[in-house]
């Protein structure tokens, strides 16, 4: 269950999405706030929308009629959840990249992207893992390319996506990678949905997305 602090962050994110005209949020607003139900997506995004509206939306997502009701009922909801929940929690996800040479791939991640090697397995090596902060990548050696390289380039088929928390960090990361001379499939770009991202191409052609908020 989320904490009150996380719920506040969710409300601020909804407010920012509305301000940035992120169309998927219009459907949420229309579905959860009756006063917006008769409006089109464009009308929802053009309509005045305050932090209190975003907080009400988050409250309704969690089964409360208002933000105040959510704040009042949250402690009880958290206590009940702790007593009854047996749902497994996913702690991490590790994308697997198919590469032709484990050593060359490890060298790329450590020397160009600032990762460190967690382990290398096999003799000769056919599997490895690299990490940087909370991001981990598993590297699997294969004899031939498993994805059509032309299709991958044309459709920008991503092998992995890595996120940072702030706009400053995504810009800093882009400049860091630019300085090491990596190949970019896409340079730093602001997306319509309120994110900034760029795509790095590794030596095997795998496309790695790095993304963060635009502001």
Per-residue pLDDT reduced to its tens digit, 68-79 = 888 888 777 666
Q: For residue 91, is it within any domain?
A: no
CATH number (domain holding residue 122): 3.10.180.10
Alpha-carbon gap, residue 80 to 91, rounded angstroms: 22
**80 and 104 together in one domain:** no
| Confidence at residue 131, expressed as pLDDT on a 0 to 100 scale | 94
Judge if 184 and 134 occupy the same domain: yes
Of 84, 116, 144, at which residue does a domain stop? 84
Mean pLDDT, rounded, for 4-33:
87
Q: Which ranges constitute the DSSP H helices of the chain?
A: 4-19, 23-32, 41-46, 51-61, 67-84, 102-112, 149-155, 167-180
Per-residue pLDDT band at 165 (split at 50, 70, 90): confident
Residue-range definition of the domain harbouring residue 23: 4-84
- pTM, full prediction: 0.60
For the segment 143-155, the average pLDDT, to the nearest whole number, is: 85
Does 89 reside within a domain? Answer: no
Whether 101 and 194 map to the same domain: the answer is yes
Residue 48 placed within a domain? yes
81-126 pLDDT, tens digit per residue, is 555 556 677 777 889 999 999 999 999 999 999 999 999 988 888 9
Distance CA(106)–CA(109), nearest Å, equals 5
Assess whether 135 and 162 both reside in one domain: yes
Based on the fold, state whether residues 121 and 145 are members of the same structural domain: yes
Residues 49 and 114 in one domain: no
Same domain for 57 and 104, yes or no, is no
Say yes or no: 56 and 135 in one domain.
Answer: no
Same domain? For 118 and 138 the reply is yes
Boundary (domain end) residue, out of 20, 54, 84: 84
Model pLDDT, residue 153: 87
Specify the residue for token string 């967690």: 118
Number of domains making up the chain: 2
Cα–Cα distance between 107 and 113 in angstroms, integer? 9
Domain final residue pick, 84, 104, 132: 84
Specify whether 203 is located in the same domain as 109: yes
């Amino acid at each position: 269950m989320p904490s009150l602090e996380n719920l506040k962050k969710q409300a601020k994110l909804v407010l920012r999405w509305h301000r940035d005209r992120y169309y998927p949020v219009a459907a949420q607003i229309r579905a959860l706030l009756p006063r917006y139900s008769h409006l089109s997506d464009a009308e929802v995004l053009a309509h005045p929308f305050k932090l209190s509206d975003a907080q009400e939306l988050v409250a309704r997502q969690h089964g409360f009629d208002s933000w105040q009701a959510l704040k009042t009922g949250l402690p009880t909801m958290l206590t009940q959840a702790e007593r009854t929940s047996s749902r497994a929690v996913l702690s991490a996800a590790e994308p697997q990249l198919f590469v032709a040479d484990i050593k060359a791939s490890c060298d790329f991640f450590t020397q160009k992207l600032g990762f460190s090697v967690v382990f290398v397995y096999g003799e000769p090596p056919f599997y490895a893992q690299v990490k940087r902060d909370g991001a981990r990548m598993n590297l699997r050696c294969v004899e031939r390319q498993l994805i059509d390289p032309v299709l991958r380039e044309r459709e920008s088929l991503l092998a992995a996506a890595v996120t940072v928390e702030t706009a400053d960090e995504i810009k800093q990361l882009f400049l860091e990678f630019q300085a090491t001379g990596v190949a970019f499939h896409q340079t730093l770009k602001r997306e319509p949905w309120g994110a900034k991202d760029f795509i790095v191409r590794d030596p095997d052609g795998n496309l790695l997305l790095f993304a963060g908020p635009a502001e």
